[in-house]
């Protein structure tokens, strides 16, 4: 098992009304996406382990966002902050805090595994919610390839969305 890890430690504040801890899997490394992510011009992608390891520090302190329908990214609707990121096996695992007092509806949706205004079937794990990364400064090894290989990225945040809308369906998010 390979493990690369980074974290920002916030001071403990038991019972803080606006800090709800979360954890989950953001994406997989060295694995083709299940479908093309936004911005990939219709190409599925592979995030290399080397690119992910180099970019891991760029995740810390970045925001977690969501759209009310949980079907896309909405970078102007920040509902949390990422404080830890690590590569465990082929998964990039995140943890951090949701702004529970400011966005109680997203906490409730994650807690109950509820999909707002959706008829999508429940899947395993129990929650149908997953995550998706946001990147900038990406380098692709060969744009002519059917599946793009990302050799360099800078993470600029992440989004909570339905797993059926995520490029990687093995992503997930839960409250700690």
Helix/strand/coil for 152: strand
Structural domain spans, the chain: 3-7+17-175
Separation between Cα atoms, residue 8 and residue 130, nearest integer Å:
22
pLDDT, one tens digit per residue, over 60-111 is: 999 999 999 999 999 999 999 999 999 999 999 999 999 999 999 999 989 8
Give the separation between CA 132 and CA 27, rounded to whole angstroms: 7
* Six-digit token string for 121: 């079937």
What Å distances lie between residue 95 and 3, 8, 84, CA to CA? Answer: 15, 10, 5
Q: What is the CATH number of domain 3-7+17-175?
A: 3.20.16
β-sheet bridge partners, residue 134: 157
The pTM of this model reads: 0.88
């Amino acid at each position: 098992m390979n493990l690369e890890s980074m974290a920002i430690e916030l001071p403990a504040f038991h019972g803080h009304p606006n800090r709800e801890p979360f954890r989950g899997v953001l994406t997989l490394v060295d694995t083709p996406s299940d479908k093309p992510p936004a911005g990939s011009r219709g190409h599925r992608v592979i995030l290399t382990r080397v690119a992910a390891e180099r970019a891991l520090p760029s995740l810390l302190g970045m925001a977690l966002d969501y759209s009310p329908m949980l079907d896309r990214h909405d970078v102007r609707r920040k509902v949390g902050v990422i404080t830890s990121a690590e590569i465990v096996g082929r998964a990039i695992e995140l943890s951090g805090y949701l702004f529970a007092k400011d966005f109680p509806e997203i906490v409730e949706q994650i807690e109950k595994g509820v999909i707002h205004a959706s008829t999508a079937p429940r899947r395993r794990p129990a929650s149908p919610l997953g995550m998706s990364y946001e990147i900038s400064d990406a380098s692709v090894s060969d744009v002519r390839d059917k599946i793009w290989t990302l050799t360099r990225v800078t993470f600029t945040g992440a989004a909570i969305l339905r797993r059926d809308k995520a490029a990687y369906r093995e992503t997930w998010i839960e409250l700690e």
